[in-house]
Amino acid sequence: HDCCCCGLQLLLGVLLLHADAPSATAFDALRTMWAEVRRLAADGPEPHELDRVRRLLAVRRRRRRESMDGQAMELAAWEALGDQSYGDAWEARLAACTPHDVQAALQRWCPADQASVVVYRPRGMAPIGGDADGFARLDAPVSPTPVTPPPTVPALVRQTDATFVEQRGAMHVFRTGHGVPVLVQRVPGMPMLHLGASLLGGAAQDPGDQAGLALLAARTMARATLSLDSAAMAATTEWLGGGISASGGADTLGWYCSVPPDAAAPAVQLLADVVLRPRLLPETIEVERRLMVVDAAQLRDDMARWPMRLGLDAAWHGHPYGAPAAGTETSLAGLTPEQVRTWHGAHGRAAHGVLVCVGDLEPAAAASLLATAFADWQTTPAPALAPTPWPTAVTQVVDTRDKKQTAMAMLFPGPARQEADRETAQLVAAVAGGLGGRIFEELRSRQSLAYTVQVFTADRRAGGVLGGYLATAPAREAEARDGLLAEFARLVHDPITPDELDRARTYVLGTHAIRRQSGAAVLGDLLDAWLLGGGLDALDRWAARIAAVTPEACTALVSRWCDASRRVEGIVRGA
């Protein structure tokens, strides 16, 4: 069972610590972890450290219980250990645990001569340890990690009522004094409260040679505020039982937080401080930039995402959508702290944004908290965005790897977010792809041309994509390509049947309902509907539009968009 949020897990008889680190610092990371284990065994934890862990574990249990799947898995896990009622007994034991209990457990179960170390390292990196003498080097002195005391959570200094606009079922719409929309959906009994502040922009607003700038700024903003440095920020979010994360895509950028409902007020204030009053220190920016460079480098080894990245860059070359929101190794190398601060000055205090709260909180009270904390956030018109280009001829981009597999993303243009046949594209992808889908069955099950096959659609504010992905043996690349093209063509000359469409419709509607058990998913849907067009009406109409799609509409969509002479292929070719 999970014991903390830092990669420490208690499995069946095994206490496991794990970390990812650059080669140059891997041994120091390992030595620091070992030093922390020895410190706890020698001195025990501080009482407030145990309080922090108790709250984190309690919140994790709340998160699991947010979905039916999570509840079922929890009950099954305890039942497998003897009885599902053990979960409540475990919480009681957790509450009674003392610092001495933790110290005694580590002394009993974690002696140095019982430790095993596994290092998975790149070629060319010197071995770490390798024998008992090498492992003994871990006991070299390490500066102790300071124990962060319980944080002081910032408080709201005044209270401002939000202006009520309208109500649609459980959804309430308000506006702040500066006109920023506040969306509140009350979900009685939801164990967690989900908060978000999002703006229209993201990668679409990054200058051409500065891909990743908006996300770098957003991630740095979530690290520290003018009132809390990085260590205090991390401690504060843990004490609240959540964390503030930043994420961005082609069209949007935002900051999100989920906490127990009793932490609503401080969490809202902290979220506002992140957006409006971040501490943008050069060293913090540099840490985030380096992490993003590592992520960009790892993307090149991903045989699923890298072909897609190659294809999108070729399909939308010269458009903001052609560059990844997270940037490239080249673009990230050129980003500076001054550019990050300039970005925040232009977008962090005034944007085409929206505030959202989903959970068991009275709507007017939730809106008041957000309106008070974000009283200084200004609203601006939606930024313009040019239509997406698409090549007029077959375009291939090929990268090579020393692997026994070739991966290919075959892309066609598709409907944008607000186009009428967006839902039709979703159903075509469900009919053609997935387990039991037409293309999956033909290319994998019948012809054995591919290890995996997927059909997908992605819609954005200014354009969309309909495409397929497959992984095959390098020697069968040409056969696999021809097979995938033939299956897209067959969707026209051998039209989708009513039975196929009904099964796809049931699947799409069912997975959508299951997904919306998560408050985070509900929050994301609200943000996208409001910022990317269609408004809340789009959420109300979606199921009806899915129900109205016909086989003829599917045929017309494939005929319109899937022109083999204009396809784009991103290929990672194996040896």
Query: What digits encode the pLDDT tens for the residues 42-83?
Result: 999 988 888 888 888 888 888 888 888 888 988 888 888 888
| CB of 459 closer than 8 Å to CB of 414 | yes
Query: pLDDT per residue over 533-563, tens digit each?
Result: 778 888 888 999 999 999 999 999 999 999 9
**Among 165, 183, 356, 326, residue whose Cα is nearest residue 257:** 356
Q: Between residues 92 and 393, which one has the greater pLDDT?
A: 393
DSSP code, position 213: H
Helix axes 477-493, 422-432, angle to 10 degrees: 120
239 vs 249: CA distance, rounded Å: 29
306 has pLDDT over 50: yes
Token pair, residue 100, equals 């001495």
pLDDT exceeding 90 applies to what percent of the chain?
61
206 vs 327: CA distance, rounded Å: 10
For residue 371, what pLDDT is reported?
95
Q: Which parts of 308-369 are beta strand (E)?
A: 350-351, 353-359
Please report which confidence band the pLDDT of residue 176 belongs to, taking 50, 70 and 90 as the band edges. very high
Q: Which residue has the tokens 């601006």?
A: 380
445 has pLDDT over 80: yes
Query: pLDDT per residue over 102-128, tens digit each?
Result: 999 999 988 888 888 888 888 888 887
Q: Between residues 340 and 205, which one has the greater pLDDT?
A: 340
390 vs 383: CA distance, rounded Å: 22
Query: pLDDT per residue over 351-381, tens digit each?
Result: 999 999 999 999 999 999 999 999 999 999 9
31 vs 134: CA distance, rounded Å: 11
For residue 6, what pLDDT is reported?
41
Query: pLDDT per residue over 328-344, tens digit each?
Result: 999 999 999 999 999 99
